[in-house]
Structure 1
Amino acid sequence: MASPNDTLFDVLTVGEPMALFMAAEPGELHAVHDFRRAAAGAELNVATGLARLGLRTGYITRLGDDSFGRFLANELAREGIDRSFVQVDASRPTGFMLKTRAADGSDPQIEYFRKGSAASGLGPADAPAGVFPARHLHLTGITPALSPRALELVFHLARQARAAGATISFDPNLRPRLWPSPEVMAETINALAALADTVLPGLSEGTQLTGHTTPEAIADFYLERGARQVAVKLGPEGAFYKHKDGASGFAQGIAVERVVDTVGAGDGFAVGVVSALLEGLDLPAAAARGNAIGARVVGFPGDSDGLPTRAQLHPALHS
C-alpha cells in the first residue's frame, strides 16, 4: 500500500518506465552493434518534461529489483521526480525496449520486452491513500492496457482525482498490440477520456477511436462525452483545439530544420499543454506551447532529450 503524502504535487502520473536502448548507427536492429541506454515510457517522458519546467511531479510505478530498475530509479531522482509512490517488485523484471536510428528522420523501428514486467503488477493498492495529493492527474491509454489490475488502478485514480477537484489530462497513446481487440481498446480508452478535462488524441488515433476523420469531429466526440477541451495533434501541421464553450482554432506547426527521431513528440506536446494550463494560460496558448515542445523533441535522438528546462522554453516558443 502506498503511504499517504500530505504535500500537494502539481502533477501526478502513473505508468511503466522502461530502459531504452537506442541504436548508435542506422540499420535493422539485428545488425546494430552499439546502443546508447536511456529512460523511456510515455508517462515518464511527461513527468520528466514537467519536472524540468519546475512543476512538482509525482510518479506511480513498480520497478523490478534489477539493474534496469535501479537505473530508472536513479533517472527519476536525477530529474527531480518524486518517488514516494515507486514500489520495487522483486518477483517481476523491469521492462526494456530497443529502437533503431532512422537516418532520414522517419519513424524508427521499436521492439518491446515488457510481458510480465513489474509495472504490469500495478493495481489499486498502488494508489495514494487518503485525499488525492495533486492538483492535476495525467493519464495515457498505455497503463490500462498492461493488465486488468492496472486498468482498475487507472480508473480508480481518475475517480479519486475528480472527487478531490483535481483536473485530468488524457493522451490515448494507442498500443493496439497490448489490447485483446480494437473494439475493447476503443471502448476502454473512450471511457477513460470521458473522465478527463483535457483530451489529447492524435488525428489517426482519434479516427481509430471515434470513427471520425476530421479534427473538429474528433474533438466534438469527446466534448459531447464530458471533456472540457480537446487538442488534436496534427503532426507538422500543428494542432486543432476546441473548448466546450465552442471556441476553436488551429495552433500552427513549427518548422523543424532536421528531424532526428519522432518518438516522444506527442509526449512533448502533452508537457506543453499541461504545463501551460496549470500556469493559467488559455487553450490556444497551451496548444502553441505543446507544438513548440513537440517540435523541439524531434530534433534529438532520445525520447526525452529535447524536453526543455524553463530557461530553454522561451527560445523554443520563439524559434
Structure 2
Amino acid sequence: MPSPTPPEILTFGEAMTMFVAETPGALAEVERFRRRIAGADTNVAIGLARLGFGVAWLSRVGDDGFGEFIRRTLEQEGLDCRHLVSDAINPTGLLFKERAEDGQDPRVSYFRRGSAASQLCCDDASDLDLSALRHLHATGIPPALSSSARALSHHLLAQARAAGASISFDPNLRPSLWHSEEEMRDTLNRLAAQADWVLPGLAEGRRLTGRESPEGIADFYLERGAKAVVIKLGPQGGYYRGTLGGREQSLSVPGFAVAEVVDTVGAGDAFAVGVISALLDGLDPRQAVLRGNLLGAEAVKVIGDMEGLPDRQRLEALIATHPETFA
C-alpha cells in the first residue's frame, strides 16, 4: 500500500463539537440546538481544503462520539487526519452558542477544561513528514490550552521554518484561557515574531502591542521579523503593510457591503483563508486583502463558523460579481 502523500499545508489546534441554538434568546431558555463543529484553526483548514489545497490537521479529540463526529466531518471536508489522535482518557471539548440577533456577536459557553486537545504535546508531531510542506498556519489558541500545547506551537513553527515553508499566525485571543494578560501578550508576540504573515484584528493588535493605529501595529511586528502584517478591520476591510515580493507596500482595502449580518463568528477566520490562499496562489497584497474581505463578508451571511467558506468554483463566481474591484 503506498505511503500517504506528505501535506502541502499543516494546521493544528482544537476542534470542538458545537451546539448552535435554533432560536434566539438566552441559552437558559433554548430547548433545541443544531450540532456543528467549531474551532478557529479548523475553520481555516477547511477553507483552504475547499479551495483545493492539500491540508493536514494535527490535534487530539476524545475517544467518544463527539470526537468521531469531528473526525468524520473533517475527513469529509478533505482534510488529512492521520495526525488526529483519539484520546482514551480526556474528552472532546464542547461549546454552546446562542442565536444572535441584529448582527450582534453571539454569546458562547465553553466546556473545554481538561479536553483532549489540551493534552497536545511535541510527541504528537514526532512522525510528521514535512518534506512537501509549503505553509503552516498557526493561531494563539493552542498555546493558551496548556504548557505542553504551547511547547508544540513553538516546535511546529521552528520545524516549518527549517523545512522552508511560509508561516502565517493569527493571534485569535482567548484571554480567559491565560493566567495573565502579560503571559498572553508575551507568548503570542514571540510566536508572531517567528511567522512570515501576521494577521491580527485591530483590537487584538492594540491589546498585544500597545499601539493604536494599524500602521503602528504593523510596524511592531515588522520590526520583530515578520515579512507582512495584514490587519482585520471588520466591515471597514483590511490593512496591509510589508515587503512581500521584495517591494515595501502599505495599503488599505475597503470591505464589501453586507445587507444582513446573520452570524459574525468565523468572519476573521474566513478573512485569513482569503489572504493565505491568495498569497499561496501568488497574488499581490492588494488582491490578497480583497479576497480576505470578500470571504469575511460571505461568512457573516450564514449561521455557523465555516458554512460560508466557498470552494474554488464558488470563489471564482463571487469574484466575477465584482469585476471592477478585482481588476
TM-score by length of 1: 0.96
Q: 1:252 aligns with which of 251, 254, 264?
A: 254
Mapped contact 1:23–1:36 kept (Cα < 8 A): yes
Q: Distance in 2 between matches of 1:120 and 1:130?
A: 19
Aligned length: 315
Structure 1 residue 77: Cα displacement: 1.2
- 3-state SS of 1:105 partner: coil
Per-residue CA deviation, residues 212-270 of structure 1 (Å, 9 max, x unaligned), is: 01001100100000000010000000001011343110111000111000000000011
What CA distance in whole angstroms lies between the structure 2 residues aligned with 1:180 and 1:283? 36
Residue 81 of structure 1: aligned partner: 79
Please state whether the residue corresponding to 1:36 is helix, strand or coil. Answer: strand
- How far is the alpha carbon of 1:153 from its aligned partner? 0.3
Q: CA deviation at 1:103?
A: 1.8
Q: In the alignment, is the contact (CA less than 8 A) between 2:7 and 2:130 conserved in 1?
A: no
Give the Cα–Cα distance (whole angstroms) in 2 for the partners of residues 221 and 115 of structure 1: 33
1:277 and 2:279 aligned: yes
Kept in 2: contact 1:241–1:283 (CA 8 A):
yes
Q: How does 1:127-146 map to 2 (within 5 A)?
A: 127-129=125-127, 131-133=129-131, 134-146=133-145
- Distance of aligned partners of 1:131 and 1:73 in 2 relative to their CA distance in 1, 3 Å threshold: closer
For residues 15-54 of structure 1, the aligned pairs below 5 Å read 15-54=13-52
Unaligned runs of 5+ in 1: none
Q: Secondary structure at the match of 1:261?
A: coil
3-state SS, counterpart of residue 226 of structure 1: coil
Q: Which residue of 2 aligns with 1:287?
A: 289
Question: What's 1:240 paired with?
Answer: 239
Aligned counterpart, 1:105: 103
After TM superposition, give the deviation of residue 84 of structure 1 in Å: 1.2
Letter in 2 for 1:203: L
Partners of 1:198 and 1:129 lie apart in 2 by 26
User: How far apart, CA to CA, are the structure 2 residues paired with 1:145 and 1:127?
Assistant: 18
Deviations 1:124-149 (A, max 9, x none): 01115365242100000001110000
Distance 1:165 1:83, change over 3 A: same
Q: Distance in 2 between matches of 1:129 and 1:51?
A: 22
Question: Per-residue deviation at 1:105?
Answer: 1.3
Question: 1:85–1:128: 8 Å Cα contact kept in structure 2?
Answer: no
The percent of aligned pairs where both chains have the same amino acid is: 55
Rounded Cα–Cα distance in structure 2 between residues aligned with 1:311 and 1:85: 29
AA matched with 2:318: A
Shift of 1:102: 1.1
Q: Which amino acid aligns with 2:86?
A: V
Shift of 1:6: 6.7
Contact between 1:230 and 1:241, CA under 8 Å: does it hold in 2? yes
Q: Hey, what's the Cα distance between the residues in 1 that align with 2:225 and 2:185?
A: 16
4+ runs of 1 displaced by more than 3 Å? none
TM-score, normalising length from structure 2? 0.94
- Looking at structure 2, the residues matched to 48 and 255 of structure 1 have their Cα atoms a distance apart, in angstroms, of 24
Q: Which runs of 5+ in 2 are unaligned?
A: 323-327
